[in-house]
Amino acid sequence: MRVRIPALSVLLLLPISSYPQNNAEVENDLAHHTFYVDFAPRGQIDLRIRPAEIHIIGSEESRIVVRVEGRQGRDSKDVQARFEKHGNSGVLEINGGPRNDVTITVQVPKESDLVVRVFAGDVQVRDVVGDKDVELNFGSLRIGVGDATGYSSVKASVSSGEIDAKPFGESHGGLFRSLEKYGPGKYKLRAHVGAGQLTLN
């Protein structure tokens, strides 16, 4: 059973001197405690996430929610989330836990600008309306772009692998593949995979 830890309770666990300095909220046992923090739409969220199967999903709620599951009986109790808010932007770091077989789901306000950095894994971003800057060194990256005309610029690349970008009419495979598109919209999309598969759908 998942247990919700109110934000105030999490803050009370921090040293008194740390809260005024960095406004940080921390959860050290994401296997048993879902992490919640209030965050208004139309802000920027910087996500730095450990290797895993990762789902970043937009929602109508004005908060960030993190859930972690271990597979094949592995315990993911050592996975930690740390969030620091700076005005209308915030940094969420997720690290720790077993080497393999971890699924991380991050729920964000639907209208958000995202900066995502992941070393390796299977990463999916969907239902998020805003600027997106996503980098994955190794693995598979899938980004739901929504309306392709909603972007002013799209830059996607792989060092080794394949780009499948049907909404923009392009598909490439091999070494050092890339695409650039410009349109009438207001959002910017930048996506890069070092080695693997990049899908824009």
Please enumerate in sequence order all residues whose Cβ is within 8 A of that of 54, keeping only pairs 6 or more positions apart, or say none.
103, 104, 105, 106, 118, 121, 122, 123, 124
Q: Which of 162, 163, 130, 157 is nearest to 145 (CA)?
A: 130
In the chain, where are the structural domains located? Answer: 3-200
Print burial letters for 171-197: b (CB count within 10 Å at least 16), e (below 16).
Answer: ebeeeebebebeeebebebebbbbebb
Take residue 110 and report the two structure tokens written for it: 């639907």
pLDDT confidence bin for 108, thresholds 50/70/90: very high
Residue-wise pLDDT for 189-201, tens only, equals: 999 999 999 999 9
**DSSP state, 129?**
B
For residue 20, pLDDT beyond 50: no
Q: How confident is the model at residue 70 (pLDDT cuts 50, 70, 90)?
A: confident
Q: Considering the chain, what is the average pLDDT of its residues?
A: 86
pTM for the predicted model, two decimal places: 0.84
AA identity, residue 7: A
Task: Please tell me the distance from the alpha carbon of residue 134 to that of residue 47, in angstroms, as a whole number.
Answer: 9
In 10 A of CB 149, how many CB atoms? Answer: 9
Residue 99 CB coordination number (10 Å): 8
Report how far residue 9's alpha carbon sits from residue 25's, in angstroms, rounded to the nearest whole number. Answer: 10
